[in-house]
Amino acid sequence: MVISARTRVAGLFGHPVEHSLSPTMHNAAFRHLGIDYVYLPFDVSPENLEAAVYGIKALGIVGINVTIPHKNRIIGYLDWVDHDARMIESVNTIYNDNGILKGYSTDAEGFLQALKEAWKDPYGCNAVVIGAGGAARATVYALLKSGANVVIVNRTPERALKLVQAMKSINCEWSVKSIDGSNRDEVENAIATSELLVNCTPVGMYPNEGASPVPCELLHPNLFVFDQIYNPYETKLIKKAKEIGAKVSNGIMMLVYQGAMSFEIWTKCKAPIDAMKTAIL
């Protein structure tokens, strides 16, 4: 790939960013389509976030992905933020539309596409979501909008309660409630009466691969277990679920689909899903 004065620049703001698979995935997509773009990781510390956002306009960067810890605070520096991103209070994609910085979140839709592909449309199902951070917000929002009933289980119950309150403003007939992650009986009952379990915590992620976000003996064969972690490829939760005959998905395709949507917002080209997936695998 030859970089010239015409090359359009996209990238990632996060802190840290060294571990990110996004540069590999997006640069493979640009190469696959033969379009003149490059994607760069930028390690932006919290005190430099505002200046970095001004830099998007000043440098004519076409698009930015946003990751931990900036997804929430960056909203305050943008010119326009779409409805889903405002509901989730999180932006993971910025599009520089001729000097107007527009914020989007593709996490909810990325999760939903991956879930439908690996399992089915969650309409009418009972789901347990573990975690109440950024990924959980997007996941709960996606499930409620799709017509699922959601129970949120989190280590810090107050945070889960806040998420429930925020989601209650979605005008829908589906229920959302939270339970304390340390109350084993309640967690057991919630999982026993659900068909879907989604892990939105880093518990089980490299290098703590021996950990599981819920006791594995609570899993049952009628569950679909979606672990949003993609490193390792199979977490302890996924392995144990498979052992008892439950169906599973890791977080790889969620990563690909949320990235594909960012790609399409920036380039207006259809994202080459297979090339993106191959690149990160």
Task: Name the site residues for ligand NAP (rule: CB under 6 A).
Answer: 68, 107, 131-136, 154-156, 159, 200-203, 205, 228-230, 251, 254-255, 258
Residue 8 or 162 having the CB closest to ligand NAP: 162
Residue of minimal Cβ distance to ligand NAP? 133
Q: Quote the DSSP letter at residue 63.
A: E
Query: Read out DSSP for 126-144?
Result: EEEEE--SHHHHHHHHHHH
Distance CA 242, CA 115 (A): 17
Q: CB under 8 Å to 133, separation ≥6 — which residues?
A: 159, 200, 201
Q: How far is the CB of 227 from ligand NAP (least distance, A)?
A: 9
> Is 71 a residue of the active site?
yes
Query: Read out DSSP for 35-87?
Result: -SEEEEEEE--GGGHHHHHHHHHHHT--EEEE-TT-TTGGGGG-SEE-HHHHH
Residue 101 or 252 having the CB closest to ligand NAP: 252
Catalytic residue among 71, 102, 145, 240: 71
Q: How far is the CB of 107 from ligand NAP (least distance, A)?
A: 6
Residue 136 or 148 having the CB closest to ligand NAP: 136
Residue 8 or 89 having the CB closest to ligand NAP: 89
Structure tokens at 253: 């395709």
Q: How far is the CB of 106 from ligand NAP (least distance, A)?
A: 9
Distance CA 276, CA 43 (A): 22
Q: How far is the CB of 228 from ligand NAP (least distance, A)?
A: 4
Residue 41 or 134 having the CB closest to ligand NAP: 134
Distance CA 33, CA 31 (A): 5
Distance CA 195, CA 128 (A): 8
In the chain, what are the helix, strand and coil shares in percent, each to the nearest 5?
40, 20, 40
The owner of tokens 């999982």 is 191
Q: How far is the CB of 84 from ligand NAP (least distance, A)?
A: 15
Structure tokens at 67: 């990751």
So which residues are the catalytic ones?
71
